[in-house]
Structures are given as structure tokens and as C-alpha cells.
Structure 1
């Protein structure tokens, strides 16, 4: 399968499984998406990095959750962040390079989850447009209920 098609297909499968299995609000899973910029495979304690300390990731790895393979939609941050949020390739949603804003009309995973009754929050680096209250691309405008984010 071509790499540029992998992320949207995985996102679609994930959403189909998630929404297809939800019966009662109390039965819904909670989940957290984490993204670290410029974080390479070998830059964890459990992979033997001599200086970086990653105790939470190390604990996850020790209990069986190892995130050894990840294919991003782009080799840089803004396009990758948008791909994770939209499930689309950067060429499809218009964030071609770091610092480019996401288009306000894009549908994000936060929009879909909010429509399904979830409360969504974004905390940390947004880098998909201004986070100012009046921005049409701030995290709240893109579906998040709460945010404490910075532009870059």
C-alpha cells in the first residue's frame, strides 16, 4: 500500500471501529493522542538512548505497548499534525509546509468526536494557524472544546 494512502485509511478504519462499537456513553473508551516533534525511534530509554529519559514511554513499553512503527503524512510538523487531525494527506487539505494554516472548512477528528458526545482538548503546540480567539483555525474552531495551545 502506498504510504500516502496509509494514514487516511487507518484513520477511517479507526473511526469506523470506534463509532461502530459505541453503544452507551458510559461504555465509550477514553483516548489520548500524543505527538512529539523530531522524536526519532531511538530517542527513548527503552531503545537505549544514553541521555534522554522517557519513563512513561519506558513503562508503556515494559507492559507491552511499543510504538515502533509510525508513518506520518509528511516529514515536517504542520503537515503531519493536520494529517493526524483530518486523516487526509497534506496535499488534500492544503498545509504544505511548517507554518501553513489548516483551512477552516476542514473536518477534524475533534469535530467528529464532539458530534459523538466526546469532549476534546488540545494542549501544547498547535502549529496549524493562529491560536488567538478570533482565528478561524484555532483549536476551538477546529472542534476542540478546551485548549491551552501555542502557535509554534
Structure 2
């Protein structure tokens, strides 16, 4: 047999063994487990993950005071309220198979939605890069999870 074929086949088998079998299906995970994942993600997300969240949120207009839906807290407070919402989420809603929306209600207004004051923050997270069965405290695996969007929510 051709040696190059064996090498390519061996590499293909190794790749398949190393790749996660399935992405985390948020619709099949208990809400408390999704909350626990979010706590670990918040503690271990890298700068790039947070930068992507801020970029997406800015692009969607949630930092623009002229937009009908935006944050009203000082910009310097937004990272803290988003982190608090992820670590203390009062509700988690799975959607699109690998995503989850985390919500936390604060005691004071944090933004407006369609010009109505709101106290809640919602964060969308894409867990598709996290393999099913990952331990909730696996900090290393959190480095590829996508923080998608932070919004004030009704």
C-alpha cells in the first residue's frame, strides 16, 4: 500500500478521534447546568470573547443613546452588569440548538427597550464549540465559546 495513503488515513483517524463528537445541544441540558457553564465562562473568557460581545452589541445599536433600545447605565458599568447577569441568571432559555439566552433582573433600570425603561439584561451565548458532556468547571474548554450579544430586555 502507498505510504502516503497510510499517513493521510492515520491523520484522518486521529483527527476524528480528537474532534468532539457533538456540540453541546442546549435544548437537552438542564437549566442549572447551563447556569453553571455560564459561571465558568464568565470567570475564564478571554479578551477576544469579550471584545466580540462588545463589538456585536455596539453594532446592534445597544450602546447608542439615540437607538429606541439601548443601555442607560454608564458604559463603565456595562461589563459588570453583563458579568452579573451571566453568573446570577434568573432564567436561561435554550434556542437554535446550541445557543442559550441568559437573563437577570436588576433592582434598577439598566436600559430601555422600544423607549420603555427595563431592569433586565439578556446575554446570548453560543455553546456549539463545547462538546457534550463537558464538565461545568472545565475552564480550558470555555476559551472557544462565543459570547454573542448583550441587550437590555423586557
Shorter chain as denominator, the TM-score bin is under 0.3
Higher RCO (CA-CA < 8 Å; seq separation 6+): 2
Query: Which one has a bigger Cα radius of gyration?
Result: 2
Q: More helix per residue: 1 or 2?
A: 2
Q: More strand per residue: 1 or 2?
A: 2
TM-score, length of structure 2 as denominator length:
0.21
